[in-house]
């Protein structure tokens, strides 16, 4: 069974829904993997509670968020894949060929430092009101040492409605995140989506793949 190490920040009071979805899909067998641990930047909260509920080993990672700290965690669990699911810190020193992230907005326009959660949705709504865009998106990408810079492997558009607020848009985007994250994670885990970690043109996806 292949192994996944999840990084999920969550918050002091909640969060971790994406991590929870991944766990549930491993338990149903749709995601053929074992989540060997989840790492959070909060000692308790949503991610910790979900880990306790499902019996997943929990690691509190308070920083510093440098390559050495990340690499120690990877060495401890030897995962086949690293999944960042709501991880709000800059990931450094991870293997870019087997590290993926999910982002709640279109990349590259709505990415980079400070662009996470409600900040993304507020910026997207602002651009919509200015007539610059008509839709948001759930995006997944391979991870490099820069925020949101690795090649995109999944883009699922979410139409913006006239009466949308950042909160209502966030709810629909999050719904799509939970629905699709496990599937794209599976495609990377099985090698159907791959990247050599250097050349963006080396990205491989299944024939007829409709999400780019």
Each domain of the chain, given as residue ranges in start order, spans: 2-112+137-158+180-200
DSSP annotation of 201: G
DSSP annotation of 194: B
The count of residues in the chain is 212
Residue 152: beta bridge partners? 141
pTM of the predicted protein model: 0.96
The pLDDT of residue 52 is 97
The pLDDT of residue 161 is 98
C-beta neighbour count of 111 within 10 angstroms: 21
Question: Cis peptide leading into 64, omega within 30 of 0?
Answer: yes
Contact yes or no for 71/64 (Cβ under 8 A): no
- The span from the CA of 179 to the CA of 33, in Å, is 17
Q: What are the average pLDDT values for consecutive 10-residue runs of the chain, which has 212 residues?
A: 97 93 98 98 95 98 97 98 97 98 97 95 98 98 95 98 98 97 98 96 97 96
The pLDDT of residue 13 is 87
- The span from the CA of 14 to the CA of 115, in Å, is 19
Query: Per CATH, the architecture of 2-112+137-158+180-200 is what?
Result: 3-Layer(aba) Sandwich (3.40)
Catalytic residues: 103
CB burial readout 118-137, b (16+ within 10 A) else e: eebbebbbebbeeeebeebb
The pLDDT of residue 40 is 97
CA-based Rg of the chain, rounded to a whole angstrom? Answer: 16
- The span from the CA of 88 to the CA of 119, in Å, is 12
């Amino acid at each position: 069974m292949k192994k996944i190490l999840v990084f999920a920040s969550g918050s002091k009071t909640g969060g971790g829904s994406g991590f929870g979805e991944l766990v549930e899909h491993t338990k149903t067998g749709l995601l053929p993997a074992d989540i060997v641990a989840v790492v959070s930047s909060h000692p308790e909260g949503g991610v910790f509670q979900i880990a306790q509920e499902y019996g997943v080993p929990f690691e509190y990672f308070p920083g510093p968020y440098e390559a050495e700290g990340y690499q120690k965690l990877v060495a401890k669990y030897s995962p086949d894949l690293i999944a960042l699911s709501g991880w709000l810190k800059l990931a450094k020193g991870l293997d870019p060929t087997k590290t993926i992230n999910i982002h709640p907005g279109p990349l590259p326009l709505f990415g980079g430092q400070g662009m996470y959660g409600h900040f993304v949705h507020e910026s997207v709504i602002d651009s919509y009101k200015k007539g610059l865009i008509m839709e948001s998106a759930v995006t997944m990408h391979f991870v490099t040492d820069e925020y949101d810079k690795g090649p995109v492997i999944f883009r699922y558009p979410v139409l913006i409605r006239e009466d949308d607020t950042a909160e209502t848009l966030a709810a629909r985007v999050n719904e799509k995140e939970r629905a699709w994250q496990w599937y794209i994670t599976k495609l990377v885990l099985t090698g159907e989506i791959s990247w050599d970690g250097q050349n963006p043109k080396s990205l491989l996806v299944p024939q007829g793949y409709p999400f780019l």
